[in-house]
């Protein structure tokens, strides 16, 4: 993590500590618990980096940045219920701690609170960007659910899902930072595209880490994607060279509840699924960097460093423990 990222993280967490509060005590507790447990704060950092790139002071845009983290936190609360995951950021999930019924409502409350706050405080098109982003995230999550266990999913379909469920929020983070900072309109699409490509790379890397990562560092379940029936890029790549028989064995894994996942993981490794997915993530990072062409070299530098840190990240840094 670069010096810039640590500085921005401090700004973000200070704001949460001093200024975040809703009228709902349970929601406050659930959010603080997640923020204190860890998390990388990538989306709000991206907002602040985009604002700084176009000449603004990060200090002046922390509030909008924290709303991007809150949208992320609310989607994680719901995502963990949908995925049946019981750990997040090294602690029990909101659903596992308070029960799924409370978890659903806490997430709903948080979304509603975020949008009430954003519509009251930011001019168009910020509220519109954020609301259509949330619609895209839900769309992506539904598409993913509907394709669980479907081995016909190809890299293009996978990318569509990932673009919606993950990259849309990275794109919105960069776009909101740029727009709130009053960026030259010609730079807004460049920064938005940067966020989008970065987000796709980020999800591919997360999907690789689900197969190769360390649970203690990730702070969330590892190996869970296969259990859930998620057909992610490493598997899609490995399947490209699979024989009919191997394909049938993998299909059997997804339809047999007590099947062992070790042979599937071994198959992915043997067929180079991990390396191929990794290369694709690297290409997305390159595309992100190329999207910054309209910016000057000086404007680009901190964004390029940020992009590179995504490639070198350990499984999922829990982040420094903070008081919130």
User: Under the rule (CB under 6 A), what is the footprint of ligand IPE?
Assistant: 39-40, 42, 72, 75, 79, 83, 85, 89, 137, 165-166, 203, 206, 220, 316
> Using CB under 5 A, which residues numbered 188 to 217 contact Mg ion?
206, 210
83 lines the binding site for Mg ion (CB under 5 A): yes
CA-based angle 274:278:283, to the nearest 5? 150
Q: Of the candidates 202, 49, 193, 177, which has an alpha carbon nearest to the alpha carbon of residue 122?
A: 177
Q: Which is nearer to Mg ion, 14 or 86 (CB)?
A: 86
Q: Which does 166 bind (CB under 5 to 8 A by kind): ligand IPE, Mg ion, none?
A: ligand IPE
Among candidates 116, 115, 111, 101, which has minimal Cα distance to 138? 111
Q: How far is the CB of 204 from Mg ion (least distance, A)?
A: 10
Give the one entry of ligand IPE, Mg ion, none that residue 165 binds, where binding means its C-beta sits below a cut-off of 5 to 8 angstroms depending on kind. ligand IPE
- Supply the minimum distance, in Å, between the C-beta of residue 298 and ligand IPE: 27
Alpha-carbon dihedral angle through residues 97, 100, 103, 108, given to the nearest 10 degrees: 180
Closest residue to Mg ion using C-beta atoms: 83
Q: Residue 115 burial by CB count (10 A; 0-12/13-18/19+): exposed, middle or buried?
A: middle
Q: Which does 299 bind (CB under 5 to 8 A by kind): ligand IPE, Mg ion, none?
A: none
Q: Quick check: bond before 32 cis, omega within 30?
A: no
Q: Measured from the CB atom, is 158 or 187 closer to ligand IPE?
A: 158
Rounded least distance, CB 70 to ligand IPE, Å? 11
Question: If we measure between CA atoms, which residue out of 313, 306, 311, 315 comes closest to residue 284?
Answer: 311
Sign of CA dihedral 165, 168, 170, 176: negative
Considering the complex, state which of residue 115 and residue 246 has its C-beta at the smaller distance from ligand IPE: 115
* C-alpha–C-alpha distance, residues 130 and 106, integer Å: 19
Q: Considering only residues 63-82, where is the footprint of Mg ion by CB under 5 A?
A: 79
CB of 179 to Mg ion, least distance (A): 29
Q: For the CA atoms of 286, 292, 296, 301, what is the dihedral angle to 10 degrees? A: -50
Which of ligand IPE, Mg ion, none does residue 52 bind to, with CB < 5 to 8 Å depending on kind?
A: none
Least distance (Å) from ligand IPE to the CB of residue 55?
A: 27
Helix axes 188-212, 297-312, angle to 10 degrees: 10
Query: Residue numbers of the site for Mg ion (CB under 5 A)?
Result: 79, 83, 206, 210
């Amino acid at each position: 993590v670069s010096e810039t990222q640590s500085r921005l993280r401090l700004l973000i967490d200070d704001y949460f500590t001093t200024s975040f509060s809703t009228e709902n005590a349970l929601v406050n507790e659930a959010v603080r618990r997640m923020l204190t447990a860890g998390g990388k704060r990538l989306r709000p950092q991206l907002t602040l980096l985009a604002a700084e790139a176009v000449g603004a002071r990060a200090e002046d845009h922390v509030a909008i940045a924290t709303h991007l983290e809150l949208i992320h936190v609310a989607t994680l609360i719901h995502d963990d219920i949908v995925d049946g995951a019981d750990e997040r950021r090294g602690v029990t999930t909101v659903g596992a701690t308070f029960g799924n019924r409370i978890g659903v409502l806490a997430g709903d409350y948080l979304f509603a609170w975020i949008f009430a706050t954003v519509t009251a405080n930011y001019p168009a098109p910020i509220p519109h960007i954020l609301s259509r982003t949330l619609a895209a995230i839900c769309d992506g999550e539904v598409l993913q659910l509907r394709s669980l266990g479907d081995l016909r999913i190809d890299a293009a379909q996978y990318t569509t899902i990932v673009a919606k469920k993950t990259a849309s929020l990275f794109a919105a983070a960069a776009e909101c930072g740029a727009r709130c900072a009053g960026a030259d309109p010609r730079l807004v699409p460049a920064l938005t595209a940067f966020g989008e490509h970065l987000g796709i790379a980020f999800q591919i890397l997360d999907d690789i880490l689900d197969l190769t990562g360390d649970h203690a560092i990730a702070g969330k379940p590892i190996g869970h994607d296969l259990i859930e029936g998620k057909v992610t890029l490493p598997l899609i790549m490995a399947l490209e060279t699979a024989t009919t028989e191997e394909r049938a064995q993998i299909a059997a894994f997804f339809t047999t509840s007590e099947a062992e996942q070790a042979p599937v993981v071994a198959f992915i490794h043997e067929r180079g699924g991990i390396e191929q997915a990794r290369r694709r993530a690297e290409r997305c990072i390159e595309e992100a960097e190329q999207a910054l062409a309209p910016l000057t070299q000086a404007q680009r530098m901190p964004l390029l460093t940020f992009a590179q840190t995504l490639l070198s990240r350990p499984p999922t840094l829990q982040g420094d423990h903070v008081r919130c």
